[in-house]
Amino acid sequence: MSLYDIDLTTLDGKPQKMDAYRGKTLLIVNVASECGYTPQYAGLQALHEKYKDKNFAVLGFPCDQFGHQEPGSGAQIAQFCERNYGVSFPMFAKTAVNGANAHPLYQQLKSGKGGADPIKWNFTKFLVGPDGTVQKRYSSGDKPETIGAEIAARLK
């Protein structure tokens, strides 16, 4: 199975195929509204704005597996993200990233260069190349501002 064969659901409940992002460099992030790393939404939005015209996208996947830090509904998450951080990058339905119920996307991400280790916390980031392969995995503590130069170098 290719990354592009995976079915997703948007935050507002609409079906979406990963194939829509074929050929783009992606930063895929499990996010949460009540996490110490939540302010990273601002940096993620800044990366999205800066590079969206260079075939790049940030994709946000709310996750409630870590300390129940994403308790809201899709509508509540969308409102929070827009109101507090002006998020305009694609956001998807709540997603399990670890365990037996891990979403196929996260199973695929962890099978590549990102390594099979369980995701330790919210705001773990996977950099995916235009060919759909994982290029790098970043920890929660890796701020979007510090990885921007690395992303920019890959977009040239």
Summarised one tens digit per residue, pLDDT across range 114-149 is 566 789 999 999 999 999 999 999 999 999 999 999
- Class of the CATH-defined domain 3-154: alpha beta
Out of 11, 27, 29, 35, which one is annotated catalytic? 35
Which helix (H) or strand (E) segment holds residue 64: the answer is none
- Looking at residue 112, what is its pLDDT? 66
Q: How far apart are CA 114 and CA 56, in angstroms?
A: 19
Task: Please give the average pLDDT of every successive group of 10 residues along the chain, which has 156 residues.
Answer: 92 95 96 94 97 96 94 93 96 94 91 74 95 93 93 86
Q: Where are the domains of the chain?
A: 3-154
- Looking at residue 113, what is its pLDDT? 63
Task: Say if CB 113 and CB 131 are below 8 A apart.
Answer: no
Say whether 63 is catalytic: no
